Structure 1
Amino acid sequence: MSAPMLQSLGYASIPALAVLVGTAVAMWRVPGDAVRSGIQHLAAGVVFCVLATELLPDLVHRHMPWVTLLGFSLGVVVLLTLKFLQPEDALQASNGAMLAAVGVDVFLDGLLIGLSFAAGQVQSMLLTVGLTLELGFLGVAIATTLAANRTAGGRIITTAVLLGVVLVVGAGLGAWALTVLRPSVIDGLLAVGVAALLYLVTEELLVEAHEVKDTPLQTGMFFFGFIALWTFEMLI
């Protein structure tokens, strides 16, 4: 197994573990609305920082505008289709329909971790930090929703484990793709990933964070996440 593959799987194991931790925390005690909103703002700021300072500049420097446009457009179409197919009320939706949509999202996250090695190891590490926060909250959300649907505790844990496996598999495929695909295809896949992260920030993390009344502290967590990761990036 190549070094990039091992690194990709190692990085992916961190957010995969975060899913389990978030699930366990929610099964023990569901965080309050204010705490969840703050975490979501923080995760959104971190992910947006990775986009603005690493992935987007890297795509610009690749100078493949038409490939990037095609990949980004494809990503948007896929994500909007998933949004259309996903029931609006998760508590009324079947567990299968909800988890299928979540599984696709998690797979794309893992794929992007593997592909991000095309931009560099630092970029992969920063992306992993952002996705760890996001997937930790995802574990909380999944456990809360399944528990509300009267799913057994053992099945909730099994679901979290499977989502972690899907993430790691996606990362492995992304790292493998770097060794066999042409640079133009890699560029297109990275553009798909950029669309997925933008969707994550604007249509998931921030939308859900604003379901409760914001306080200056919660809103400030977005900017804190952004500047904290940006500062860390400049120091390493």
Structure 2
Amino acid sequence: MVLVQALSYTALAVVAALVGGVIAISYPPGPQMESNIQHFAAGVVIAAVAAELLPNIHDRAPRVVVLGFAIGVATMLGIHRLSKTIEKRDIGGQFAGAAGLLITVSIDMLIDGVLIGVTFLDNPDTGVIIAVALAIEVLFLGVAGVIALPRDIGVVKKLAVPTVFGLLLASGVTGGVLALDGVTGAPIAIILAFGSAALLYLVTEELLVKAGKVPETPVSTTLFFVGFLAIFLLDMLH
């Protein structure tokens, strides 16, 4: 039952990835539009972490939380380094220019999927909010993944990228629920802390860093707070 519920909400993210891919192919966004989307997604993810994940780990054993955060930060730094190494070595053949990004996002999708699954096991209401927040994140990643590909790659191959992102996310949800169903205590706390660190890293080192390459505008700044407020309102109404 939990798996079905988790996958039903994860379907939002799978569809969002495909929509992002279609948008990138049909109407490639300019730098300012990308920045606006990144600001909005950053506000959404930060609100999800602040309103949903952090309260769930606040009263747990401090050592467990610190361990989870440390593993999360170390993992994300490792993924970042892997991405840079792949880019320097020009690995990937036809996809060489985008290989680092694609592999990084693919790993991130698996991690996010496990996080969604665990939050549904721990608290289904939290799981819904995290799934919605990550659907918005995945929409941006679907756009970014397709834009990063060489222009001469066909439409089918381009759409395969967000499709794989969605499948990896769903695989992470399935694996997380099946592996951790019935587990309580420290393992769940570690994963929630790990997920919080991973999402905060995504915001600070990916979304906002890339958004900062474009001059700030009142619209982009406002969209950050609109995204933040949207998740808080969803939390109160759910």
Normalised to the residue count of structure 2, the TM-score between the two structures is 0.90
How large is the Cα RMSD of the aligned pairs? 2.0
User: Which residue identity does 2:15 align to in structure 1?
Assistant: L
User: Which residue identity does 1:19 align to in structure 2?
Assistant: A
In 2, distance between residues paired with 1:222 and 1:88? 31
| Unaligned residue ranges in structure 2 (runs of 5+) | none
What are the Cα deviations for residues 19-51 of structure 1, in whole angstroms up to 9, with x where unaligned?
A: 111011111110122222111111111111111
Aligned-residue offset at 1:88 = 8.4
Match of 1:140 among 110, 135, 143: 143
What are the Cα deviations for residues 131-159 of structure 1, in whole angstroms up to 9, with x where unaligned?
A: 111111111111111134x3332212222
Aligned-residue offset at 1:87 = 2.5
Q: Which moved more, 1:20-29 or 1:110-119?
A: 110-119
Match of 1:100 among 100, 103, 112: 103
8 A contact 2:129–2:234 mirrored in 1: no
In 2, distance between residues paired with 1:220 and 1:194? 24
1:66 corresponds to 2:66 = no
Match of 1:115 among 115, 118, 130: 118
Q: Equivalent residue for 1:13?
A: 11
Q: Equivalent residue for 1:173?
A: 175
Instruction: Give the aligned length.
Output: 232
| Unaligned residue ranges in structure 1 (runs of 5+) | none
Match of 1:196 among 186, 194, 198: 198
1:186 corresponds to 2:184 = no
User: Which residue identity does 1:147 align to in structure 2?
Assistant: P
Q: Equivalent residue for 1:75?
A: 72
8 A contact 1:71–1:192 mirrored in 2: yes
8 A contact 2:9–2:132 mirrored in 1: no
8 A contact 1:18–1:133 mirrored in 2: yes
In 2, distance between residues paired with 1:44 and 1:88? 26
8 A contact 2:118–2:177 mirrored in 1: yes
8 A contact 2:2–2:121 mirrored in 1: no
Q: Equivalent residue for 1:84?
A: 81
Over 3 Å counting, the alpha-carbon distance change for 1:89 and 1:188 in structure 2 is closer
Q: Which secondary structure state, in structure 2, belongs to the residue aligned with residue 151 of structure 1? A: coil
8 A contact 2:68–2:190 mirrored in 1: yes
8 A contact 2:17–2:142 mirrored in 1: yes
Normalised to the residue count of structure 1, the TM-score between the two structures is 0.91
Q: Which secondary structure state, in structure 1, belongs to the residue aligned with residue 41 of structure 2? A: helix
Moved over 4 A (4+): 88-93
Match of 2:210 among 208, 211, 225: 208
Over 3 Å counting, the alpha-carbon distance change for 1:170 and 1:59 in structure 2 is same
Aligned-residue offset at 1:59 = 0.3
In 2, distance between residues paired with 1:209 and 1:145? 16
What are the Cα deviations for residues 185-206 of structure 1, in whole angstroms up to 9, with x where unaligned?
A: 1111111111111011111111
User: Which residue identity does 2:236 align to in structure 1?
Assistant: M
Q: Which secondary structure state, in structure 1, belongs to the residue aligned with residue 84 of structure 2? A: coil
8 A contact 1:22–1:136 mirrored in 2: yes
User: Which residue identity does 1:219 align to in structure 2?
Assistant: T
